[in-house]
Every structure is written in C-alpha cells, then in structure tokens.
C-alpha cells in the first residue's frame, strides 16, 4: 500500500493563514463559533481562516473542501467527531492522526500537526496513528473491530478521507482534528440515523415517535449526549488554544456569520 504525503511545494513555507475548516455537523461547528452558520457555504473566521458546514458524508465534505480551495484556502482541515476503534479510546480523547486510510494511506502535514499539538495542555489526552474513512456510520462494536483489523486504524469518521483526498489533489497541506464521541462498545443505534438531518441535528417530529414506541430509549439518548459533550469539550479546547494554527485569531472570531460571508462560493 502506497503512502502519499499531503503538503505544499515547500514545507518550510507552509502558511496556515488561509485555513479552510470542514465540519459536517452543527454541534461540531459550535466548538469553533457560537454563531449559527448557514448550511453549505463558506463563512470567514476573521482574516486568516474560513469554515464550511458541509453536512454528513464524504461527498458533502469533498464539495466543501473544493469550495474552500476555490475561494482561496491554502490549507485544509477536517474537524469534528470520530468513533473509537480501540477500547482504550474514550469519549473526549483527541485524535490527531498522522495517516488517513482511504484505501490508500495519506499523510497529514506533520509539521502543522506538531505545532498544533504543542499548543495543547498536557491534560488533554491526544493520540496519533491512523484515522480510517468509512462510507457509513458504524453502528456496532463488531463492525468497528473489523475495520480496525482491516486498516490498523485507531478511529474512524466519514469526512476526513474526502478532505484529505481533495487536499492531496490540490497540493495543499491537510490536518485532521477529531475527538472521540462514541467508544468501541457503544455506537449510535441504526434507528437513530433516520431522524438525523444532513447537518447532524435531530428531527424531533421523527424522534418523538421512536421514544413513545420505545424503539429508542431516553437512556440511549442521554448516553449519546454525554459522550458528545465530552467530544465537544476537547474540540472547543483545540479551537480556543489552536490560534493561528487553526486560522482563528481568537475564540470570538465569528460573532455574526453574515458579516464574514465569502464572495466565492
């Protein structure tokens, strides 16, 4: 299996002043900005970066990465949740992978990764390794374990592979920042997938009947919410402390998304 490095032409001149961040879900985007982002368009994060709320899945993430690149991004980042493929990884653990498995191995920009890692305090649990790309949500420990065995990955998500491939095609630096939201032994129930909108928010009109029929339990939702909060806490810390490595001037870079709409879509 080949190893493809994702970087600019001159690694010593990598500039993260134009970071394009792809997030799939609103809950992930809120770790960067409390402003309500419009769906599927570029929004600036001040002078040095931009965010794109893409929706769930590889195709949506790829389109967002291409949109950010077309509007001037000089580096691409995939930011959000991941599922654990190892029992040692717990909700809130941060994954800064060195490699992305998409069928081939893509290397992140290691100097960028190291600079970001150095900005984080010791109490944040950070792991490296391989992050696997999945075409769908893995809803059981068995499917997670099978993917881990096939890829050697420690964690999985649905968007990072597509963003990594877009970066490789454009010759741009790439970095994945992912926090564990579901451990190996606990995954989102399959039935829940039918009530999730493209931006990851729940459709209450569909969710409530599942609760009333006890197809889905309140306990499961509470567990998912607690694990998501742990992941959000880790991601918010990265956004707060990452500074220029995230392309974010400050935690309050985006207070009014309408003020920062990019002219290129």
CA distance 174 to 39: 23
Tokens describing residue 208 = 């409530």
Query: Is residue 245 over pLDDT 80?
Result: yes
Q: CB 154: neighbour CB atoms within 10 A?
A: 22
Query: Percent of the chain at pLDDT above 90?
Result: 73
CA distance 83 to 85: 7
CA distance 59 to 63: 6
Whether the Cβ atoms of residue 7 and residue 173 lie closer than 8 Å to each other:
yes
| pLDDT value of position 260 | 35
pLDDT class for 152, splitting at 50, 70, 90?
very high
Q: CB 48: neighbour CB atoms within 10 A?
A: 18
The model's pLDDT over 53-108, given as tens digits with 9 standing for 90+, comes to: 999 999 999 999 999 999 999 999 999 999 999 999 999 999 999 999 999 999 99
Closest CA to 24 of 200, 143, 262, 163: 200
User: Residue 196's beta-bridge partner residues?
Assistant: 202
Q: Which domains does the chain have, with CATH numbers?
A: 3-245 (3.40.50.1580)
Query: Is residue 265 over pLDDT 60?
Result: no
Long-range (24+ apart) CB contacts under 8 A made by 147-152 are 147/85, 148/85, 148/86, 151/101, 152/101
pLDDT class for 145, splitting at 50, 70, 90?
very high
Euclidean distance between the first and final Cα of the chain, in Å? 36
Side-chain half-sphere CA neighbours of 220 within 13 A: 15
Whether the Cβ atoms of residue 109 and residue 7 lie closer than 8 Å to each other:
yes
CA distance 178 to 83: 9
Query: Is residue 178 over pLDDT 90?
Result: yes
Query: Percent of the chain at pLDDT above 70?
Result: 87
Q: What angle do CA 146, 106, 162 make, to 5 degrees?
A: 80
pLDDT class for 16, splitting at 50, 70, 90?
low
Cβ contacts of residue 262 below 8 Å, gap of 6+?
41, 42, 43, 44, 50, 71
CA distance 145 to 85: 6
Query: Is residue 263 over pLDDT 50?
Result: no
pLDDT average, residue stretch 137-141: 91
From residue 53, give the alpha-carbon distance in Å to each of 50, 106, 149, 214, 227.
10, 23, 31, 32, 21
* Element at 224 (helix H, strand E): helix 218-242
- Report pTM: 0.86
Tokens describing residue 169 = 């095609």
């Amino acid at each position: 299996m080949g190893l493809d490095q994702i970087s600019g032409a001159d690694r010593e001149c990598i500039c993260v002043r134009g970071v394009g961040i792809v997030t799939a879900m609103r809950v992930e985007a809120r770790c960067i900005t409390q402003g309500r982002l419009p769906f599927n368009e570029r929004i600036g994060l001040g002078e040095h970066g931009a965010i794109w709320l893409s929706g769930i899945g590889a195709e949506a993430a790829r389109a967002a990465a291409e949109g950010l690149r077309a509007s001037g991004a000089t580096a691409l980042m995939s930011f959000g949740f991941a599922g654990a493929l190892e029992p040692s990884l717990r909700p809130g653990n941060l994954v800064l992978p060195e490699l992305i498995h998409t069928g081939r191995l893509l290397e992140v920009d290691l100097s960028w990764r190291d600079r970001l890692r150095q900005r984080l305090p010791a109490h944040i649990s950070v792991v490296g390794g391989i992050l696997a790309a999945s075409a769908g949500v893995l809803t059981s420990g068995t499917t997670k374990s099978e993917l881990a065995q096939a890829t050697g990955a420690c964690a999985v998500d649905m968007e990072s592979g597509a963003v990594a491939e877009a970066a490789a095609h454009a010759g741009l630096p790439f970095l994945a920042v992912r926090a564990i939201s579901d451990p190996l032994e606990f995954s989102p129930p399959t039935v829940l997938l039918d009530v999730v909108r493209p931006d990851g928010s729940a459709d209450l009109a569909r969710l409530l009947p599942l609760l009333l029929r006890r197809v889905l339990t309140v306990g499961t939702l509470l567990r998912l919410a607690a694990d998501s909060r742990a992941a959000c806490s880790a991601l918010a810390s990265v956004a707060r402390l990452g500074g220029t490595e995230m392309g974010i001037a400050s935690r309050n870079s985006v207070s009014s998304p309408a003020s920062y709409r990019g002219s290129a879509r």
